[in-house]
Amino acid sequence: MKLYYSKGACSLSPHIVMHEAGLEHTAILASTKTHQLEDGTDYYTINPLGYVPLLELVDGTRLTEGPAIVQYLADLVPEKHLVPANGTIERYKLQARLNFIGTELHKGSSPLFNPATPAEYKTVVAEKLLSRYAYVDKMLAGKDYVMGSHFTVADAYLFTVSNWTTPLKLDISGLANLVAFRARMAARPGVQAAMKAEGLI
């Protein structure tokens, strides 16, 4: 399998899952700025939308959208318990968490990365985003991970997106549960392997 990624982008989430799952893969850097691969290939010829992640299977099938990719990868190795079983209420709860992270935190961060966003609007966006992280902090109370005591793909996504609070200068230091979660995640070998592969540590 091939995973197209950009350093530190949302593609870090499936990259982490790849390592946590122990799946053989080739990671291919696809710049979200130049939209070119390192060999000069136009990334738009691979993904017409130009963004990452994109997973290419051995048969050439291509899958986009991080929450779908991480569930696909997890379902390849059910013995790892990276997702609850399909059809269970716990699986739908996981999907709800992935959806929340994707819409409220991931896309909620987008205006702050855009230099064209007016400063006054960035202030509004930052306040809303911090309120969402405060919700996550409460959600993590008494838990090691998003779904409880066991690591799932939702943790890879939350860790990835919450990494952006540093370059965005969002102060989450007062959110003790989230800070503890991030430290727990950073210590996982699979997380470290993915971050090393992307040159982030």
pLDDT over 90, % of the chain = 99
pLDDT confidence of residue 180: 98
197 contacts: CB under 8 Å, gap ≥ 6: 15, 19, 27
Residues in the chain: 201
pLDDT tens-digit series, residues 53-78: 999 999 999 999 999 999 999 999 99
- Residue 46 — very low, low, confident or very high, per pLDDT cuts 50/70/90? very high
pLDDT tens-digit series, residues 99-132: 999 999 999 999 999 999 999 999 999 999 999 9
pLDDT confidence of residue 3: 98
Contact assessment for residue 162 and residue 156, using Cβ atoms and an 8 Å cutoff: no
pLDDT confidence of residue 25: 97
Contact assessment for residue 156 and residue 13, using Cβ atoms and an 8 Å cutoff: yes
φ/ψ (deg, to 5) at 126:
-60, -40
| Residue 201 to residue 195: CA distance in whole angstroms | 6
Residue 8 tokens read as 């530190």
Which whole-number Å values give the CA distances from 151 to 23, 44, 46, 154, in the listed order? 17, 34, 31, 8
Hey, what amino acid is at 141?
A
| Residue 31 to residue 25: CA distance in whole angstroms | 19
Q: pTM for this structure?
A: 0.97
Question: Strand 26-29 and strand 54-56: pairing?
Answer: unpaired
How high does pLDDT run on average in the chain?
97
| Residue 8 to residue 197: CA distance in whole angstroms | 11
- Residue 4 — very low, low, confident or very high, per pLDDT cuts 50/70/90? very high
**What integer is the mean pLDDT of 14-41?**
96
Three-state SS at 4: strand
pLDDT confidence of residue 173: 97
**What integer is the mean pLDDT of 136-147?**
98
pLDDT confidence of residue 5: 98
